[in-house]
Amino acid sequence: MSTPLPAIYSHPDQAAACILLSAAGLPTEDLIAPRLHDFWGCRDGEKLIGVIGLEIFGAVALVRSLTVAPDWQGQGLGKALLAQAEQTAQQRGVQALYLLTITAENFFAIQGYTPIPRAVAPPVLQQTAEFTTLCPASAVCMTKPLSKLENSSA
């Protein structure tokens, strides 16, 4: 018997998101309130236990800041948060998602993302803080076309 996943909601609290992301070793330097417009979170009671964000640039978007509190890992919360971001991106006309990861390449590969050379990511993404200063050159760049998303509920 598995614990039901908490509901996903938009606009998580900035301070709580930064605490969760910092604990996971993810960058928070550029997370100001306006950037949290395309962020989602999950709570266990009042505690933020999962977060994900998008930076949308027309037909492409950068997936960022996906993290789940250690006590909730392995229960499908990361997959549910990613599905929320993908669905929103698709509804807004995004055709492809990109991301940089140091530790979660296997997770994203299972979700349909494929590694690509960082240099072939769209130029608009290469100008973001994630690409220019926040993520090291060793981070793996991955992409997923949204046109191949299936219409299914997770």
Residues 90-133: tens digit of each pLDDT? 999 999 999 999 989 999 999 999 999 999 999 999 999 889 98
Residue 153 has pLDDT above 60, yes or no: no
Burial of 147 from C-beta contacts in 10 A (0-12 / 13-18 / 19+): exposed
Domain range summary for the chain, segments of one domain joined by +: 8-146
What is the pTM (predicted TM-score) of this model? 0.89
Superfamily of domain 8-146: Gcn5-related N-acetyltransferase (GNAT) (3.40.630.30)
Q: Residue 14: which of 27, 34, 5, 3 has the closest Cα?
A: 34
Give me the pLDDT at residue 25, please.
Answer: 87
Give me the pLDDT at residue 92, please.
Answer: 94
